[in-house]
Amino acid sequence: MLLMLYPLQFRPREKPRLWGSESWVVSGLGGDVSLITGGFLKGSSLNEAVEVYMGELVGDETYLRFGEEFPLLVKFLSTRQTLSVQVHPRDELAASRHRAWGKTEFWYILSAAPDAELLIGFRPGVTQEIYLDALAHGEVDALLNHIPVRAGEAYFIPAGTVHAIGADITLVEVQQTSDINYRIFDWGRTGSKGRPRELHTDLALEAIDFAAPVRRVTQHPSAGEAALLVECSEFTVDLLDVSGSSERELSSRESFTIYVCTSGELAAETPGGKLSLKADDTVLIPADQTSVTFSGNGRLLEIYI
């Protein structure tokens, strides 16, 4: 008989980048699978836990859909420089080319310098012909929407949307379990061997949605309430404000739930156990947990399928 599951926390995987840093806090991606830090599963990988507990951990429908690979990747990104301009393929294209999932993303802005910006989607009227001409002259960034950004804003980046994160921004990223990036423009940076970083212009062309709009959401939930930030077939993200005590009913979901504390200090209690959360802490509540009660003062991202 299996032991009862409990709220799971993981050892972050720190990844220095040319432009800043990433911290992968929940990951099922091969080679970078998260390791559990406490309880009787301590030292086990997330995917090993999914293999043993299946639907009890991720939800029966989720397990049937994704199998033993955990379906989401949650990161913190902190930028010193603007990232390269990229696009990610949809599921169908990623499957045919790479035997992998596509890469739809969501960003929640934790902090941003006064002049910080995001580059998301092409300006109205940009066609493939205009894009290819700009590409040949190294002027792709001039075709993109430059979006001033502030803390507390959320952005939905479906696969096919050309994008880049600007300098001096810290954010939480939620994405499909995929690491397929088609780089179409860079800023003269070089890789580890001192050569300009590879571009993937031919691969990217079929992936690009030239009409993809900017999808920005700003929500201000009342104390004890959750406000929807994004809902799609890949994931749902809510913003939850806690002031005092707040109970979340989870039994109707066929999914695990991940909570990312964005501010404050909170205690969390489920049928499987208790823990404390502070800003930047993350916890995965298994699908077999019927509820979670938070107490204290703080804000959380609530992530599930």
Kindly report, residue by residue over 127-143, the tens digit of the pLDDT: 999 999 999 998 999 99
Strand 20-26 to 10-11 pairing: unpaired
Query: Is 50 contained in some domain?
Result: no
Distance CA 226, CA 129 (A): 44
Please identify which residue in the block is written with the tokens 């201000």. 220
Residues 38-62: pLDDT tens digits? 999 999 999 999 999 999 999 999 9
From residue 24, give the alpha-carbon distance in Å to each of 176, 278, 282, 293.
Answer: 13, 17, 11, 26
Residue 194 confidence (pLDDT)? 62
DSSP 168-231: SEEEEEEEES----EEEE--S-B-TTSSBPPP-HHHHHHH--TTPPP-EEE--PPTT-EEEEEE
- Give the residue from 165, 198, 218 where a domain finishes: 218
**Are 11 and 34 spatial neighbours (Cβ–Cβ below 8 Å)?**
yes
Residue 1 confidence (pLDDT)? 66
Q: What share of the chain is helix, strand, coil (3-state, %, to 5)?
A: 15, 45, 40
Question: For the chain, how many helices (H) and strands (E)?
Answer: 6, 20
Residue 222 confidence (pLDDT)? 86
Query: Is 38 contained in some domain?
Result: no
200, 248: one domain: no
Distance CA 225, CA 248 (A): 9
Query: Is 9 contained in some domain?
Result: no
| pLDDT of 225 higher than 70 | yes
Mean pLDDT, residues 254-259: 96
233, 186: one domain: no
199, 233: one domain: no
Query: Is 143 contained in some domain?
Result: yes
What pTM does this model have?
0.95
Task: Please count the other Cβ atoms lying within 10 Å of the Cβ belonging to residue 163.
Answer: 22
DSSP 45: B
- Give the residue from 198, 218, 238 where a domain finishes: 218
What is the domain count for the chain?
2
Query: Is 285 contained in some domain?
Result: yes
Percent of the residues in the chain that have a pLDDT greater than 90, as a whole number: 92
Mean pLDDT, residues 71-96: 98
Query: Is 46 contained in some domain?
Result: no
113, 251: one domain: no
158, 230: one domain: no
DSSP 5-39: P--B-EE-EEEEETTEEEEEEE--STT---EE-SS
Mean pLDDT, residues 282-301: 97
Please identify which residue in the block is written with the tokens 């909570």. 259
Amino acid at 248: R
145, 200: one domain: yes
- Give the residue from 194, 218, 242 where a domain finishes: 218
Residue 45 confidence (pLDDT)? 98
247, 197: one domain: no
Please identify which residue in the block is written with the tokens 């949605």. 209
Query: Is 93 contained in some domain?
Result: yes
Mean pLDDT, residues 87-113: 98
Residue 192 confidence (pLDDT)? 64
**Are 45 and 34 spatial neighbours (Cβ–Cβ below 8 Å)?**
yes
Residues 183-211: pLDDT tens digits? 999 987 766 666 678 899 999 999 999 99
How far apart, in Å, do the first and last CA atoms of the chain sit?
27
Nearest Cα neighbor of 266 from 274, 257, 276 is 276
| pLDDT of 22 higher than 90 | yes
Q: Report the chain's mean pLDDT, rounded to a whole number.
A: 96
Mean pLDDT, residues 85-99: 97
Q: Is 240 helix (H, G, I), strand (E, B) or coil?
A: strand
Query: Is 47 contained in some domain?
Result: no
Supply the CATH number for residue 262's domain: 2.60.120.10
211, 258: one domain: no
**Are 163 and 85 spatial neighbours (Cβ–Cβ below 8 Å)?**
yes
Domain holding 243, by residue range, is 226-304
